Amino acid sequence: MLNENAILLELFRHNLWASGVTLEACRDLSNEQLATEVAGTYGRLDQTLVHLARAQGGYLRTLADWQPGEEHRLEMTEPFPGVDRIAAHLRFTGERLIEIARSASANRVLEGSWGDEPYRLPEWVVLLQVAHHATEHRQQIATMLTSLGVEPPEPDLWAYWDSIEGTRG
């Protein structure tokens, strides 16, 4: 029988895998394609990728007081840092989130401030928001890829299961 932490672990393993296949689909896009914007999405494709990575780092900061080093600082104002840098950031933060999920507690409360706003909320809210937020933006990226005539990946849980089936006992 799976306990809550085992389920969270799979959720975050899926998140890491899904972000990886999404970034792989963007690897060969031109700068012009990366500048694509589709109504109803976050913004340009390159900006959405940066936003996805920055947000995941922000959630990690909230959960573990992580302070990013220079290699993990991503700004919306600089030129697009490239798919490889975004992928490395998502891989690093995704692996840390898996570690956090191992010891997550339904009773743990996080306190701090987000900008100038204080917060006090259960850890599980932030953990589930990480997955929800990433899924939302990966879907938007898939929409933009489709608009470019690029076959988007299938990053759902069925595809994840197919990718790991037989790899674990």
Give residue 102's domain range.
8-159
**Residue 47 belongs to a domain with what CATH number?**
1.20.120.450
* Token couple for 59: 């959630």
- The C-alpha atoms of residue 152 and residue 24 are separated, in whole angstroms, by 10
pLDDT tens per residue, range 110-166: 999 888 999 999 999 999 999 999 999 999 999 999 999 999 999 999 999 999 986
How many domains would you assign to the chain?
1
Cα separations in angstroms, 85 against 5, 49, 129: 30, 10, 23
pLDDT score, position 163: 93
